[in-house]
Amino acid sequence: MKKFETITLSKTDKVATITFNRPNSANGINPTLAKEFADAALICDQDPTIRCVLLTGNGKMFCAGGDLKAVGGEPEKAAGKIKGMADDLHRATSTLARMEKPFIVAVNGMAAGAGFSIAITGDFVIAAESAKFTMAYTAAGLSPDGSSTYYLPRLVGIRKAMDLAITNRRLTAKEAEEWGLINQVVAADELQATAMKLAQKLASGPTDAFAITKKLLLCSFDNSLETQMELEGRAISARAGSTNGKEGVLAFLEKRKPNFS
CATH number at residue 79: 3.90.226.10
Would residue 38 count as lying in a domain? yes
Would residue 139 count as lying in a domain? yes
Identify the CA nearest to 62 among candidates 17, 109, 19.
Answer: 109
| Three-state secondary-structure class, residue 220 | helix
Q: Exposure string (b/e) for 184-205, b if CB count within 10 Å is 16 or more?
A: ebbeeeebbebbbebbbebbbb
Would residue 260 count as lying in a domain? no
Summary count for the chain: helices (H), strands (E): 11, 9
Q: For residue 249, count other CB atoms closer than 10 A to its CB.
A: 13
**How many domains are there within the chain?**
2
Alpha helices in the chain (DSSP H): 31-46, 69-72, 75-98, 114-119, 148-156, 158-167, 173-179, 191-203, 207-219, 225-240, 243-253
Q: Exposure string (b/e) for 93-108, b if CB count within 10 Å is 16 or more?
A: bebbbebebbbbbbbb
Instruction: Quote the domain boundaries for residue 240.
Output: 207-253
What is the predicted pLDDT for the residue at 79? 86
* Domain match, 198 and 212 both: no
Q: Are 171 and 179 in contact (CB under 8 A)?
A: yes
Regarding pTM above 0.75, the answer is: yes
Q: Are 133 and 176 in contact (CB under 8 A)?
A: yes
Identify the CA nearest to 62 among candidates 183, 188, 177.
Answer: 188
* Domain match, 149 and 67 both: yes
* Domain match, 169 and 237 both: no
* Domain match, 125 and 248 both: no
What is the predicted pLDDT for the residue at 124? 98
* Domain match, 184 and 77 both: yes
* Domain match, 112 and 223 both: no
pLDDT tens string, the chain, 261 residues long: the values are: 789 999 999 999 999 999 999 999 999 999 999 999 999 999 999 999 999 999 999 999 999 999 988 776 677 777 888 899 999 999 999 999 999 999 999 999 999 999 999 999 999 999 999 999 999 999 989 999 999 999 999 999 999 999 999 999 999 999 999 999 999 999 999 999 999 999 999 999 999 999 999 999 989 999 999 999 999 999 999 999 999 999 999 999 999 999 998
* Domain match, 80 and 132 both: yes
Would residue 37 count as lying in a domain? yes
Would residue 259 count as lying in a domain? no
Which of 203, 221, 244 lies at the terminal end of a domain, its last residue?
203
Q: Tell me the CA end-to-end span of the chain in Å, nearest whole number.
A: 23
Would residue 2 count as lying in a domain? no
Would residue 1 count as lying in a domain? no
Would residue 178 count as lying in a domain? yes
CA 45 to chain centre: 13
* Domain match, 64 and 135 both: yes
* Domain match, 60 and 162 both: yes
